[in-house]
Every structure is written in C-alpha cells, then in structure tokens.
Amino acid sequence: PLDETGLKRFKNPQEVSGVIGSGTALRDLHLPVKINGDVALLKGLCKALIERDESGLAVLDKDFIAEYCHGYEAFKQDMLATSWDDIIKHSGLTLSQINEAADIACESKKTICCWAMGVTQHKNAVANIQLMTNLLMLQGNLGKPGAGVCPVRGHSNVQGDRTMGIWEKPSDALLDALQHTYQFDVPREFGYDAVETVTAMAEQKLKVFFALGGNFFRAMPDHLLTKDALANCELTVQLSTKLNQSHLYTGKNALIMPVLGRTEIDKQASGIQTVTVENSMGVVQTSHGKIPPASNLLKSEIAIIAELADLTLDASHINWLGMKDDYGLIRDGIAKVIPGFEDFNRRIDELGEFVLPNAVRDARKFATDTQKANFVVHQIEPIAVPENCLLMMTIRSHDQFNTTVYTNNDRYRGIHGSRKVFFLSGQDIKALGFKVGDIVDIHSHWPDDNIQTRTAKDFTLVEFDIPQGSSAAYYPETNDLIPLSSVAEKSNTPAYKSVVVSLTAAS
C-alpha cells in the first residue's frame, strides 16, 4: 500500500550507469491496495478474467482447467456472485484500476506471482496465497516455462519450508528415510512452531531452547510474554555470529557460543569446507567463506553440534566427528534421505549447482487429495476497524536485514535519524486532529486478548502516500503491539500486517 521508491525504479550503484540517469523502471502499474484488501483484489482480478471469458473473449486456459484442475465451477459461481461494490469497497481500489490490471493479465502469455511477508502475515494469509495461485491457474500459469508462483524467501523457513525437512510436522516418508539410513528409532510426535514454542515455554513444557543463529526474542511478538517464557527454561543455548538482544533474555542457565559466519573460511581436518544453500527457485548452490576467521578459536555450527552429539549420545553408532571433519559425509546422508539430492557430492563438485525436481514445474503433477490443482472458494472477510482507528502493518527499512538494523535511515521512504515513526495519509492525520511531526502513542486493540489494549510510545507522525485508513510502522519496534495469539489461520504465522490501532498525543 505504500507507494515507495523501491517500487518505482532501480539503480545499480556498482555500475556508472546506475549512479547517473533515471535508472530502470520497475512497474507498469501500481495498485495501492489497502491493508488486508488482498482477498478482495484477487477476487476482483479472477472475476474480471472469468467475466471476459464468459462474454466470449478467450482469456482462460480451458484445456488446463479441464485436465489439471478441480473445483472450477464452484469457484466460477462464487466469483460471478461476488459484487463489484464489495470488491471495490474492501480492496480500496477503483474498478478501472482492477480492470487495468486484468488487461495486463489477459495480454500476458506467461505470468509469475511473487509475494513476501506483506501477504503471509495476515490472519487470512492462506486465502491470499490460494487466491493468487487460483489466478494463475485460470490462465494455465502453473507448470509453464517462465510462469508460476514465487514466494520471496530468505532462510529456509520463511514463506514455507524448502527441501531439508526443517519442519515441526515432518512427513512419515522423511522420518522413515532417516530411520532406515541412520538406524535409530526416530521420534514420531510433532514438535512446535515458533508461536507454539513460546506457548510451551510459558506453560513450562519446554526445558531447553537451542537456537541456531537468529534473534528469537526480538523477532517474536509480545516481548513481555516471550521474555517470561524464555526465563522458564532450564537452559537456553544460542549459536551466534554476533551479539543480539536475544542474548539478554535467557533461561535459568544460558550459553552463548560464538560460531563461524558464512563469510569466514571454515577449515576442518579434511581441509576447507563448503556448505550448500537452496535459493527461491529451488537451485542448490555452494557457499564458502573467503575471509580469515575472526578468531582461530571459533567453531562452526556443524562442529558444535557434532561434538555435542558425540559426547552425549553414548549408544549412537553414527560417525558424528567424521561429519565434523568432512561436510561431504553430511551430503552423502542427505542424498540417501531427501529425494532430489541423489549423487549430491558429485553434482556439486562437477557442476557447482543443480536444480531440484519440482512436480508441478516438471510434469504438472499436484500432490493434493484430488491429484489436481484445487480452486478454493474464499469469502471477503474484512477486519472491523472502529471509528477513529486505523489498520497498521509492520514494515522493514532499507538498512535492515530481518531484525538486524544497520542504521536509523530508510532510503525507501526518505526517513533519516529515527525508526520511531508512524506512516499515514495526510487526510488521516488531519481527520484525527494531528499534524505532521506530532509525537503520538500507538494503541492496538484486541477484543480476544487478556490485555485488551497494548501501547507503543513516542512515535513521530510522517505523511506518506498510503490509502486512507491504512498505516505502517517499523518491525520490530512495534512488535509489542501484537499478542502471541494473533496468527494466520492454518499456517500459525504471527499476523504482523493487520493490526487495529488508535493514536493519542504522546503522554
């Protein structure tokens, strides 16, 4: 919803042409969808395509729908029955804007839908993603070269799991493969996701918290609850490349273990080691450090885990120390356990990278109960925003990576020197009785939360090009406005992007 610099043009500062001139245009059309208006917009786009096809314009891929999809008729009837008035009202867009976007879709032979956490961190996040996928299905844009879904993902568990099984609810197939390969009784009960982890700590069901990197405390909502929950642990252990705020909030006993970073040379008994990473396109690539370690006492994460396992798992016949000395042994294990990684080491050594198999992309096969791509009906369910309140989303700045903030500046939005700012439209600033630059306290409202109202103090009002009724503030500075119970349905992701707030003059 924020019409910001990063949506308009791109300049590459590493090239002379990127410093001078106007740069490269990034868009043909910007739709200022109001916060949580995504379902309404996506239904509008799907409705526009279906109506055009029903009128005789061949804009749908009927062959793809007939052969590879399930539930189209019910989906079509729902789209036709959804009123344009509701779509316009709840998306915050005009009919002409939606039709202009539909024109682009109709003319496109290959369409990709990209999304990031602005879509996934809502209560109805799953509906957002399913409707985006359904929009692609209408024109056969799954399993087509140059088309498809593209969740913009950072580490392995952002925007959905990748390939390594880093999931609290692993499949029986994965567990069976682990058990067969390593000959031990694999635990079958499910674990906890991030929100469930804090809840389990708070209920004293979890004794040890072992973090491989990250800034768990700072990344979670509801810091007071998270702090108290961590304090219930008998032991908290953090493997970290640098100090962060999570190190201040620990269990009854706490260990901080400095580890090698990915930019540092990792030399073990068999020589310099290489790890592999998987990018958003399912491409596995090598990664190795190029600078000397900060200290010759630093261990790698793998070395710490392997040594702990060797010391504590007396009955284990697994060659833990061998894997510490040669990461290729780990890749040999992956090749036996994870489909798509067969002959892992040879492919990495000879090719440097390879593409993982993808059933939808490679063969238009769908791992669903129907064995087809499913059209899903979702209703527009707007969030009730009381009078004199706004819907707020949390955002990140230009100089920020996850919870790591490098400066208090934000070139995306023209902010310098402070992150305690609150973005809203000029009309809303005036309607609420404030002026640009006023200092306010932000109050979030949760009818189902024990605390009812949460407050973040001393934020400066900044006028921005954003739809009326929508507002934004930085993450993680406003995380305490969100209770742990505010999550996306089905995925259980914290819902940082649709928070009902009111403002008062700073106390």
User: Rounded distance, CA 393 to CA 463, Å?
Assistant: 15
Mean pLDDT of 274-297: 90
pLDDT reading at 153 higher than 80: no
pLDDT averaged over every residue in the chain: 93
| pLDDT, tens only, 458-497 | 999 999 999 999 999 999 999 999 999 999 999 999 999 9
Q: How confident is the model at residue 213 (pLDDT cuts 50, 70, 90)?
A: confident
Answer with the residue of higher pLDDT: 13 or 114. Answer: 114
Mean pLDDT of 152-162: 59
Nearest to 35 by CA among 112, 128, 126: 128
Q: Taking the mean position of all CA atoms in its chain, how far away is CA 314?
A: 39
Task: Give residue 157's pLDDT.
Answer: 45
Is the pLDDT score of 156 beyond 70?
no
Q: Give the tens place of pLDDT for each residue, 227-263.
A: 999 999 999 999 999 999 999 999 999 999 999 998 9
- Band the pLDDT of 18: cuts 50, 70, 90: low
Q: Are 175 and 181 in contact (CB under 8 A)?
A: no
What pLDDT, on the 0 to 100 scale, is given for residue 24? 86
* pLDDT category of residue 23 using cuts at 50, 70 and 90: confident
Residue ranges per domain, the chain? Answer: 31-157+367-373, 390-505
Q: pLDDT tens-digit profile of 345-374? A: 999 999 999 999 999 999 999 999 999 999
pLDDT at 304 over 70: yes
Identify each DSSP E strand in 224-270 by its residue range: 235-240, 253-258, 267-268
Phi first, then psi, for residue 123 (nearest 5°) are -60, -35
Question: Residue 6: its pLDDT value, please?
Answer: 83
CA distance 354 to 286: 10
pTM, entire model: 0.92
Q: Among 49, 330, 346, 373, which residue's Cα sits nearest to residue 182?
A: 330
Kindly tell me if the per-residue pLDDT of 270 is higher than 70: yes
Residue 197 has pLDDT above 80, yes or no: yes
| pLDDT score recorded for residue 409 | 95
pLDDT score recorded for residue 21: 73
Euclidean distance between CA atoms 155 and 279, whole angstroms: 9
Tens of pLDDT along 441-458? Answer: 999 999 877 777 899 999
Helix (H) or strand (E) holding 457: strand 453-463
Q: Could you tell me the pLDDT band of residue 7, with boundaries at 50, 70 and 90?
A: confident
> Average of pLDDT values for 5-22?
75
> What Å distances lie between residue 332 and 230, 316, 377, 383, CA to CA?
36, 18, 44, 50
Burial degree of 150 (CB within 10 A; 0-12, 13-18, 19+): middle
pLDDT at 296 over 90: yes
pLDDT confidence of residue 402: 83
CB-side neighbour CA atoms (13 Å) of 329: 15
Q: Which residues pair with 503 in a beta bridge?
A: 442
Q: What is the predicted pLDDT for the residue at 20?
A: 73
pLDDT over 50 at 178, yes or no: yes
pLDDT at 12 over 80: no
- What would be the CATH architecture of the domain defined by 390-505? Beta Barrel (2.40)
Per-residue pLDDT for 414 more than 90? yes
Residue 166: what pLDDT? 75
Tokens of 189: 């009960």
Q: What angle do CA 482, 486, 489 make, to 5 degrees?
A: 155
Q: What is the CATH number of domain 31-157+367-373?
A: 3.40.228.10
Query: With bands split at pLDDT 50, 70 and 90, how would you rate the model's confidence at 19?
Result: low
Q: Does the structure show a pLDDT above 90 at 503? A: yes
CA distance 153 to 156: 7
Helix (H) or strand (E) holding 88: helix 84-91
Interval 295-300 mean pLDDT? 95
The fraction of the chain above a pLDDT of 90, given in percent, is 83
Average pLDDT over residues 325-343: 95
Extract the runs of DSSP E, i.e. beta strands, from 191-330: 208-212, 235-240, 253-258, 267-268, 271-272, 275-278, 283-287
The strand pair at 390-395 and 470-474 is best described as: parallel
> Which of the two residues, 346 and 4, has the higher pLDDT score?
346
Provide the pLDDT confidence category of residue 124 given band limits of 50, 70 and 90. Answer: very high
pLDDT, greater one: 14 or 363 = 363
Q: Which residues lie closer than 8 Å to 417 by C-beta, 6 or more apart?
A: 408, 409
Contact 266, 289 (CB under 8 A): yes
Helices (DSSP H) in 92-186: which residue ranges?
A: 95-107, 117-120, 125-138, 172-182
